[in-house]
A and B are shown apart, each in its own frame.
Chain A
């Protein structure tokens, strides 16, 4: 091969090496594998069987081994270079330093045994963005040839690229570590949030022995529906918290009034009906990581027909979250004993909800809720979210009488205006047990019942 042809080939080889190095630097491998591959590119390019790549640890004031080639395991464990800030000042940026020229320098004298063990011929300090990030120590070339000037020129370019790569991966590593720490911190805060919310919820329910665990069940039912509606995880979590806290306003309402049940005076009814607004006032002071909690809570007594409170909003003005809470709050009230009445059976509760479809409760959400409950009853759902609570609440869902469900028609019966209702705590649950003899014929819910329980 002629000299000019050889030099051209050599140039092509150097370019190919830089391409290889670029590919390794931008690969998706982890830090260690990436840097090891990059070091192999260098050793292959410059015919150096032994080499080591170090990363700088300012805190330890040391260059610690990140990757190496050609050293025995026993030797590898002891490879570490001590480097002081005053040493770094004497390094030439990304410049190959001949080890012979370094002899006598404080840095060399401090590490001469390591350099000897590594059989280092060239030491290349790596700098990126004026920051010392690491170093490469190259051993002797195969055949003991010395490094040519043109090889040192290419090494300078390679060193620059290695420094940038090392800087980026180190930075990325630090960011990943920080992100993991932040995530841990966030999880910890989230747990604290939940624990606090749970404590509040327990305090709310403790005001009235009859409503024990009501907030928790409401939260669980709401979550079950939201998941069925394919809500995002964060939104589901927000609704759960809203469920736990929806009655927080009752904390400042006189316990006697809350426990009184029937026969409330207008003044007392008005007092009770303030609790969504009070809940809102309390919760709007808190910056939750979840959206709309205070709004869900404020409107959990609204109705689709605009006869709810406190804002008498209509269907189009209510969000799904508000509609879900309104439904499950009422449903749990129906399936729980009260001082002034016994709880309803499951089929009776269904009838009551059906009667109020389209006026008090959203039909699609009700359908979703019942559909899920039916699937839980039939054993289709691996991890039921509604049944366990109904059972623990003393409701027997095993033998509901679904026969009353009609094949067609529209919801019948009426949801009385809640303002006329005497139920102080659950005034949106207007229909009474004695009305349940009527057969609700909600076509919107019927197909589910007919197909599953005919």
Chain B
């Protein structure tokens, strides 16, 4: 049984992705593929809400890395919200945090992406 699931929704021109569970195996690559799909459809504002993420290992980190790389190459904007401290530290360690905007919650991310902050 997979310990990972993903839901997503679009509000205005922003796509919100909500991964759930363990991001520690290739199965979580769905996150990267889904973000590619949205970018392909012209959506260039993405938010990843980490509320339900329980664990991330280096495989998970690799998946986020590719997401960030794709965002950079497509001039899209990527925001992370609701991150736990240890997840954030891991992303800092990998040098990934420099390329994304991290917000406390979705509301702050939406304000940023809509140019209100």
Contacts and interface: CB of A to CB of B under 8 A. Distances in A.
A145 B26 CA distance: 26
Contacts of A47: 65, 94-96
Interface in B80-117: 89-90, 92-96, 98-99
A9 B89 contact: yes
Contact-residue bracket for chain A: 20 to 34
Interface in B14-51: 24-26
B58 interface: yes
Interface string B57-70: 11111110110110
Given A9-B93, A143-B99, A145-B95, A16 B66 contact: no
B65 A142 contact: yes
Contacts of A261: none
B43 to A, nearest CB: 20
B95 A44 contact: no
A33 B57 CA distance: 17
A64 B96 CA distance: 30
A40 B69 contact: no
Contact of A41 (B62, B94, B98): B62
A141 B99 CA distance: 13
Interface string A37-78: 100110111011110000000000000000001100000000
A10 B59 CA distance: 17
Nearest to B89: A9
Contact of A70 (B25, B69, B89, B98): B69
B65 to A, nearest CB: 5
Contacts of A10: 93
Contacts of A41: 57-59, 62
Given A143-B98, A145-B95, A20 B58 contact: yes
B58 A143 contact: no
Contact-residue bracket for chain B: 20 to 34
Interface string A178-196: 0000000000000000000
A69 B89 CA distance: 24
Contacts of B69: 49-50, 70, 142
A141 B57 CA distance: 18
A48 B95 CA distance: 10
Contacts of A13: 90, 93-94
In this complex, the member of B65, B68, B92, B98 whose beta carbon has the largest number of chain A beta carbons within 10 angstroms is: B65
Nearest to A49: B69
Interface residues of A, dominant DSSP:
helix
Contacts of B98: 143
Contacts of B61: 44-45
A230 to B, nearest CB: 36
A70 B58 contact: no
B95 A40 contact: no
B57 to A, nearest CB: 5
B93 A40 contact: no
In this complex, the member of A21, A36, A41, A47 whose beta carbon has the largest number of chain B beta carbons within 10 angstroms is: A47
A37 B96 contact: no
Given A70-B66, A70-B69, A142-B68, A40 B26 contact: yes
A43 B62 contact: yes
Given A9-B89, A20-B58, A44-B57, 16 more contacts: A10-B93, A13-B93, A13-B94, A16-B57, A20-B57, A37-B25, A41-B57, A41-B58, A41-B59, A41-B62, A43-B62, A47-B65, A47-B96, A48-B65, A69-B66, A142-B99
Interface of A: 1, 9-10, 13, 16-17, 20-21, 24, 33, 36-37, 40-41, 43-45, 47-50, 69-70, 141-143, 145
- Interface pairs A-B: 4 shortest CB-CB: A44-B62, A44-B58, A44-B61, A49-B69
